[in-house]
Amino acid sequence: MKYSSEFQSLCQIDKRKWILVVVLVAVTHLFCQTLMLSYGNALHSLLSENNIQLPEKVSLSSKESSVVESAKVGESFSGTLSSFDDVHMLAHRLKTVDNGDVSEDSEIDESVNEKDEVKPHSNHSVVKTMEIDSDFVEDATIENDNLFDEMVDMDEETTMQKNNESRWDLPIEQVVKTNGELSADSELDANRKSVLNDTKAASVPNSLSVVASNHLDNLSSVTIREINFIRTTGINSSTGDLTQLLPNHGNHSLVQSTVEKKMRCMLPPKTVTSISQMERLLVRHRARSRAMRPRWSSEHDKEILAARLQIENATLLRNDRELYAPAFRNMSMFKRSYELMERILKVYVYKEGEKPIFHQPIMKGLYASEGWFMKLMEGNNKFVVKDPRKAHLFYLPFSSRMLEHSLYVRNSHNRTNLRQYLKDYSEKIAAKYRFWNRTGGADHFLVACHDWAPYETRHHMEHCIKALCNADVTLGFKIGRDVSLPETYVRSARNPLRDLGGKPPSQRKVLAFYAGNMHGYLRPILLEHWKDKDPDMEIFGPMPSGVASKMNYIQHMKSSKFCICPKGYEVNSPRVVEAIFYECVPVIISDNFVPPFFGVLNWDTFSLILAEKDIPNLKGILLSIPEKKYLDMQLAVRKVQRHFLWHAKPVKYDLFHMTLHSIWYNRVFQTKAR
C-alpha cells in the first residue's frame, strides 16, 4: 500500500507537469501567432478552418446591398490554379460595376484551358470573312481586348506564368493559408508584396483578408492564387462584383478606379518623346549601330558596306523629275540608296510555316498593309532568290492578324500562346538554317500591322528589323532599325485606288474634319473641346452605318483642308494614310508615334504633328498657318501620295517599294563588318 500510494502521488505530479508543459506550449504558440499574424487571427489559427464562416451580409455600395450565402471556406477550395490572366479578367469585370452593365467580355469561359491546343484554321473562307468591309475606318481593335492587354507588364506576366506552371495542379489550400497569409512561394518576390500588410482596419473575417485589404489600390500585387480564391468564395459570376467581399463602398470605388488606372491604353503616356528627340535618336543610331557583329564574315556584308559608302557620298541633287525633294530628309541619299537596292538587293522568303498564319495575306481592311506586302514580296521575281546563300535579307512571311484570329482565345486576355507560337517558329528557323545564328536575326525582317505585333515579336525576334504599324517608341520601337509601316485601310482588294484624290484647295471649305469611334482616351477629349463648338471644325463621333454614311465620310475628307488623325487605343491610325489618299493635310495627334518612313521622309512639309496637350488650341494653331504655307503643304501631300499607294503590280516608289527600301536602308546603316 505504501508503494502504491507513493506511485499514485508520483503520477499525479507527472500529470500536473505534463499539463503545465502543454499549457506552456499552447501559450507560446499563441504568442508566436500573435506576433506573426494580424490581431485576431491567432486564435482562429488554432481552430479548424471548416468552422470559419463567411459573413451573412456585406454592404455592396451606397446605392444597394447584396446578400452572400454563408459558406465554409474549406469546402469552397475545390479548383486548381488558373493563369495570371484572371487578373485581366477580374479588372474587366470590375469595370462594369458602377453602371450596372455587363459587357460581353465579362463572361468567363470556364471550359477554356490555357494549355489546350488551338489549331489554326485552314479554310480560305476565313480570310474572306476577315476582309468584310466596315462602314468607315476604325482603328485596329479585337472585341475591346486591347483595353486590357497592357494592364500588367508582359515580362512580369511571362515570369509569373513560368513560375506557376509547376504548381497548377496543387490544391489551393496548399497555396493560400486560411488566415489570409500568402504561402512562401519562390515567385512572390519584392515586386509582388502581399496586399495584406495591414488588415486591422478590415471588418470582414480573416479568411477574406486576401481581397478585403485596405491596400487594394495596387491591383497588380494580387496574385494568381488570390484571384482564384476570390472566384471560389462567392464573387457574382455574372458581374464579377468584388464589392461583396469589401467592407465598404469606399474600397469598391478604389478598386474600380485602380483597375481603370492600370489600363495603359486609356491613359496618356508617362513619358513623351518629341519629334525633335526622335530625329536626334535617328542621327545617333545611324552613326552608331547597335546590331551585333556577325559570327562569321559574308560577301553580302561587304556589298552592303560598299553600298553604304556610296549612299553617304551620293552626288548632290537639287531637283528631280521623279521625286519631290522637300518631302525627303535627303533626296540625294534616298535616290542613290533606292538605285542600289534595285540593283543588288536579294531577299530570301522562308518556305516554313503553314497557312493561314503564314503565306496567306489579307488584302482588305485595316491590316491590308501586311497582306499586300506579303503577296507582292512572295510573288516578286526581281528581289526574291530561291537560294538563301545569295540573300542579303531574310523575310519571315507571317500575318499578325491571322495569328490573332487563329490562336487567340476569345475573351481570355492572354496572348502568351501567340508569342510562343512565333518563338517556336523562329527557333525552328534557327535550327534548320545557319543564317539566323550568324547575325542573331539582324538581317531578318518582318512586316506586321496588328496592334499586338510588338508584344508577339518581343525577345525572340528582338534583333530583327520590324516593319510595324504600331510604331510606339514606348513599346520598344527602335528608331533607325525598325520601320514605321503605314496603316492603310483598303476598301477594295480588286481596286485599292478606288476614290483616289480630292477637291482642289480652293474648293475645300471645311477647316478641319474628324469622325470615328471613341477608342482610347484622346478622342473623347477632342470631342469635348470641339464637337458642335465651331462651324469651321466638323468634329463628330461615330457615323451611322451604311454605304451613304461611308460616302459622306469620304466626301468630308475630300472637302476639308485639314484631316484630324488622333490616336485610338494605340499610337497609329489609318486616317494618316487616308488623309493623304484624299489629298487632305493630315494633322497627327499622337504622342510617341513615329510617322511612316520616318528615316527618309520629312513630314513637316506635308503634315502637322501636334502634341496631345495642344487639342484645346487646335483651331488657333490651324488658323495661324499662312495660306501660302497651307498651299505648299497641300501640294506636298499630292506629291508624296504615290509613296502610300498599293498596286496589283508594284510601281516604282510605291508603298511596296518604299517599305522594302526602308528595311534595306536601315539594314545598310546597321550592318557591321566581321
Whether residue 134 has pLDDT greater than 50: no
Q: Strand pairing of 393-395 and 444-448?
A: parallel
Whether residue 282 has pLDDT greater than 80: yes
**Close Cβ partners of 512 (under 8 Å, ≥ 6 residues apart):** 536, 537, 538, 539, 560, 561, 562, 563, 564, 587, 618, 619, 622
Which range has the worst mean pLDDT, 196-205, 359-368, 373-382, 455-464? 196-205
Confidence tier at 34 by pLDDT (50, 70, 90): low
Do 669 and 480 touch, CB atoms closer than 8 A? Answer: yes
**pLDDT reported for residue 338:** 98
For all residues of the chain together, what is the average pLDDT? 75
**pLDDT reported for residue 556:** 96
Full strand arrangement of the beta sheet holding 465-468: 347-349, 393-395, 444-448, 465-468, 483-484
Confidence tier at 112 by pLDDT (50, 70, 90): very low
Do 327 and 335 touch, CB atoms closer than 8 A? Answer: no
**Close Cβ partners of 67 (under 8 Å, ≥ 6 residues apart):** 56, 57
178-225 pLDDT tens trace: 333 333 333 333 333 333 333 333 333 333 333 333 333 333 333 334
Distances in Å between the alpha carbon of 200 and those of 31, 49, 197, 206, 209?
18, 20, 9, 10, 10
Residue 487: CA count within 13 A, CB half-sphere: 29
**pLDDT reported for residue 66:** 38
Confidence tier at 421 by pLDDT (50, 70, 90): very high
Which range has the worst mean pLDDT, 13-27, 318-332, 365-379, 519-533? 13-27
The residue with greater pLDDT, 206 or 365, is 365
Q: What angle do CA 583, 588, 594 make, to 5 degrees?
A: 110
The residue among 583, 559, 563, 593 whose CA lies nearest residue 575 is 563
The residue with greater pLDDT, 38 or 545, is 545
**pLDDT reported for residue 33:** 64
Long-range contacts formed by 382-387: CB under 8 A, 24+ apart: 382/342, 383/345, 383/346, 383/347, 383/660, 384/346, 384/347, 384/348, 384/349, 385/346, 385/347, 385/348, 386/348, 387/348
486-529 pLDDT tens trace: 999 999 999 999 999 999 999 999 999 999 999 999 999 999 99
Query: Among the residues of 68-202, which ranges form H helices?
Result: 73-76, 85-94, 125-130, 154-165
Q: Is 270 helix (H, G, I), strand (E, B) or coil?
A: coil
**pLDDT reported for residue 505:** 96
Q: Strand pairing of 66-67 and 57-58?
A: antiparallel
Q: What is the mean pLDDT of residues 118-142?
A: 44
| C-alpha cell recorded at residue 121 | 484554321
Kindly give the interhelix angle for 299-312 and 655-670, rounded to the nearest 10 degrees: 100
